[in-house]
A = this chain, B = another copy of it.
Amino acid sequence: MKNKILKAIGALALVTSIVFQTNAQFQRGPRLVSPQINEDNSVTFRLKSLDADKVTINGSWMPGYYGKEAEVTKGDSGIWSITVKDLAPNLYTYAFLVNGIRVVDPQNPQIMGEGTYFENFVIVPGKESEVYAIQDVPHGTLSKIWYPSPTLNKTRRMSVYTPPGYENSNEKYPVLYLLHGAGGNEDSWASLGRANYILDNLIATGKAKPMIVVMTNGNSWSAAAPGETPVGENTERPGDRGMSNRNGFENSLVNDVIPFIEKNYRVLTDKNNRAIAGLSMGGMHTQTITNSNPEIFSYIGVMSAGLRNNSRFGGNNYNKEAHVKQLKALQESGVKLYWIGCGEEDTAKEINIALRKLYDEIGFGYIYRESQGGHTWANWRLYLSEMSPLLFK
């Protein structure tokens, strides 16, 4: 609370001292550090609350994560704390629950989210987590840009990452189109996915080629992320949650997004310089787009998604024969990489297995990466960091 109020009055600038003198409750105490990464890579989380009866923490290191809580202990001066041990180097997300109410850690400005959902994060240092941190390396530019979508009859918003040096050269770059899952939007891959910083780090170390990353909004009924939609826009979802066979988003990517990017950015416009990848719903979008348009992309990534061959996954009209025919055409077009990632406990594991079974059956080549954990951003960040070095090579 105190910190929030301090932030709110921070703009007072030069007159801060007056406010402090007349409002005793705003006085800043000794700086509370949270999270604190200790020498043994344990992490101490702290929250100051004189009034709370109970404080717990929900963190992505907990098996199952959502709904899991650990008790935070009250100490002197209303400072509640917990130290979490044995954390492998990674990016972890968390939030406090104060008397059952979920709040972000007011000491930690590392916040990520989408829509109205926010949580803090902390990066436990080590070789495996270096790629997620903001390193002292050249940084690309992250832009929020609006483009016309005649297909969806809207002006829509997307995020575009241009690699370091883009503004200062005449070079042309390959493009990765990177698609989010249901519940997400054009901000998700940069916020929850750390895509721009992952690419900065991989490019700086020579692991990935400099590339442009285009992060679209896959919700065909919407122009932009919640809160960024124009006044008067109907943002009610259709019943099909954009997963229908109308393929509005998929068509708009091919007919609107790619031409816009290739007209307005310095990009290489051949198949071997285009990649597409997506997670969950975006993995389904990726399949629909590449199956229907075998000539566009040489690099394809499907994360935490699978075969939509039964009614539960919108596959009422699944036609195996037509699907196989598409895959054969895609295979013949010359795919250089078909990358599949899935978590061991991923909710999409069953349909992912079905997809790979079909690919094996027809001899459709792919690389498969199985990781620990479930249907989470921890995995999608990992997949991006492992897949993007394989692109355009």
Shortest distance in angstroms between A134's beta carbon and chain B's nearest beta carbon? 5
Does A317 make an interface contact (CB < 8 A)?
no
Taking CB atoms and an 8 Å cut-off, the chain A residues in 59-115 that contact chain B are 66-67, 98-111, 114-115
In angstroms, Cα B34 to Cα A116, docked, is 12
Residues of B within 8 Å of A255, CB to CB, are none
Interface string of A47-67 (1 = CB under 8 A from B): 000010000000000000011
A114 touching B7 by the CB < 8 A rule?
A: yes
Binds B, one of A179-187, A246-254, A321-329: A179-187
In angstroms, Cα B226 to Cα A107, docked, is 10
Binds B, one of A13-21, A294-302, A361-369, A382-390: A13-21
In angstroms, Cα B11 to Cα A181, docked, is 5
A117 touching B182 by the CB < 8 A rule?
A: no
A227 touching B348 by the CB < 8 A rule?
A: no
In angstroms, Cα B116 to Cα A4, docked, is 7
A99 touching B101 by the CB < 8 A rule?
A: yes
| Nearest B residue (CB) for A228 | B134
| Nearest B residue (CB) for A281 | B13
Taking CB atoms and an 8 Å cut-off, the chain A residues in 202-253 that contact chain B are 224-233, 241, 243
Shortest distance in angstroms between A179's beta carbon and chain B's nearest beta carbon? 11
B184 touching A11 by the CB < 8 A rule?
A: yes
In angstroms, Cα B19 to Cα A376, docked, is 14
A280 touching B14 by the CB < 8 A rule?
A: yes
Q: Taking the full assembly, how many copies of this chain does it contain?
A: 2
| Nearest B residue (CB) for A110 | B227
B167 touching A264 by the CB < 8 A rule?
A: yes
By secondary structure, the A interface counts as loop
Residues of B within 8 Å of A51, CB to CB, are 100
Size band of the interface chain A makes with B: 35 or more
Taking CB atoms and an 8 Å cut-off, the chain A residues in 1-25 that contact chain B are 1, 3-19
A135 touching B230 by the CB < 8 A rule?
A: yes
A66 touching B141 by the CB < 8 A rule?
A: no
Shortest distance in angstroms between A41's beta carbon and chain B's nearest beta carbon? 15
Residues of B within 8 Å of A136, CB to CB, are 155, 230-233
Residues of B within 8 Å of A180, CB to CB, are 11
Does A146 make an interface contact (CB < 8 A)?
yes
Interface string of A352-380 (1 = CB under 8 A from B): 00000000000000000000000111000
Contacts A14-B284, A231-B135; A108 near B102 (Cβ below 8 A) = no
In angstroms, Cα B305 to Cα A106, docked, is 28
Shortest distance in angstroms between A75's beta carbon and chain B's nearest beta carbon? 19
Residues of B within 8 Å of A142, CB to CB, are 143-144
| Nearest B residue (CB) for A284 | B14
A109 touching B116 by the CB < 8 A rule?
A: yes
Binds B, one of A170-178, A267-275, A306-314, A331-339: A306-314
| Nearest B residue (CB) for A111 | B227
Could you list some 19 contacts between A and B, CB below 8 A? A11-B181, A11-B281, A11-B376, A11-B377, A13-B181, A13-B281, A13-B284, A17-B312, A18-B312, A107-B116, A109-B115, A109-B225, A109-B226, A111-B227, A136-B231, A139-B146, A139-B157, A141-B143, A141-B144
Other A-B contacts than A15-B313, A109-B225, 11 sampled, CB-CB below 8 A, are A7-B115, A14-B243, A14-B308, A14-B313, A15-B375, A16-B182, A101-B103, A104-B118, A109-B116, A134-B228, A141-B146
